[in-house]
């Protein structure tokens, strides 16, 4: 067998090439994953939520609701988009608080009504199950124990959320 002697320069080049390949391997493997932009979790088009409606004298409805992304129609407000993209609140459509009320009403045989406020691109809920607000009461919206600072067509819900519609005083 022929014995080839390597000089110090050849050995050094060979070692540097080996180290370089070893260090670059993770970067090459990860490169395809980095080519795709990272995306925030997308809101699914359906959510299973708990809806509670508390009127002035007690509970009007309490139950599990399957809600989906959809337009909402009321007698006073007409048919409007209600998918969380209202007033540019979210970049993609998803199920909403008001959509959950609409689905609860449809599935359980009660009605609700609200006027559409163009300046907020949202509904102002006036009546649920025959109970209406007055000059000093209104339907407040809560999700997971927190009072909503946006409209019900702007806030997107996820499976497991608890939604409360509560008759409150001004």
Burial class of 137 by CB neighbour count within 10 A (0 to 12, 13 to 18, 19+) = middle
Angle at 103 between CA 85 and CA 66, to 5 degrees: 90
Residue 3: per-residue pLDDT? 47
Which two tokens mark 126?
Answer: 């006036």
| Cβ partners under 8 Å of residue 39, min gap 6 | none
Which DSSP string do the residues of the chain spell out, in sequence order?
-PPPPPPHHHHHHHHHHHHHHHHHHHHHHHHHHHHSPP-PPPPPSEEEEEEEEEETTEEEEEEEEEEES--EEETTTEEE--SS-GGG--SS---BHHHHHHHHHHHHT--EEEEEETTTTEEEEEEETTEE--SSEEEEEEETTEE-SS-TTTPBP-TT-EEEEEEEE-
The pTM score is 0.75
Asked if residue 156 has pLDDT above 70, the reply is yes
pLDDT band at 155 (very low <50, low <70, confident <90, very high): very high
pLDDT band at 7 (very low <50, low <70, confident <90, very high): low
* CATH architecture classification, 46-169: Beta Complex (2.170)
Phi, psi at residue 86, to the nearest 5°?
A: -55, 135
Average confidence (pLDDT) over 59-70: 98
Residue 44: per-residue pLDDT? 77
pLDDT mean across residues, the chain: 84
Asked if residue 40 has pLDDT above 80, the reply is no
Q: pLDDT tens-digit profile of 109-147?
A: 999 999 999 999 999 999 999 999 999 999 999 999 999
Look at strands 146-147 and 137-143 and give their pairing. Answer: antiparallel
Which two tokens mark 59?
Answer: 């509970």
Asked if residue 2 has pLDDT above 70, the reply is no
Asked if residue 4 has pLDDT above 90, the reply is no
29 vs 95: which has the higher pLDDT: 95
């Amino acid at each position: 067998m022929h014995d080839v002697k390597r000089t110090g320069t050849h050995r050094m080049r060979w070692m540097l090439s080996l180290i370089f390949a070893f260090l670059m391997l993770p970067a090459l493997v990860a490169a395809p994953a980095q080519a795709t932009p990272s995306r925030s979790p997308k809101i699914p088009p359906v959510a299973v939520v708990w809806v509670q409606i508390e009127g002035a004298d007690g509970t009007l409805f309490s139950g599990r609701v399957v809600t989906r992304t959809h337009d909402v129609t009321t007698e006073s407000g007409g048919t409007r988009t209600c998918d969380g993209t209202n007033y540019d609140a979210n970049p993609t459509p998803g199920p909403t608080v008001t959509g959950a009320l609409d689905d609860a009403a449809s599935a359980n045989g009660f009605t609700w009504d609200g006027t559409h406020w163009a300046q907020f691109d949202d509904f102002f809920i006036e009546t649920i199950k025959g109970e209406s607000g007055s000059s000093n009461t209104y339907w407040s919206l809560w999700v997971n124990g927190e009072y909503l600072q946006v409209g019900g067509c702007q806030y997107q819900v996820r499976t497991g959320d608890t939604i409360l519609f509560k008759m409150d005083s001004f």
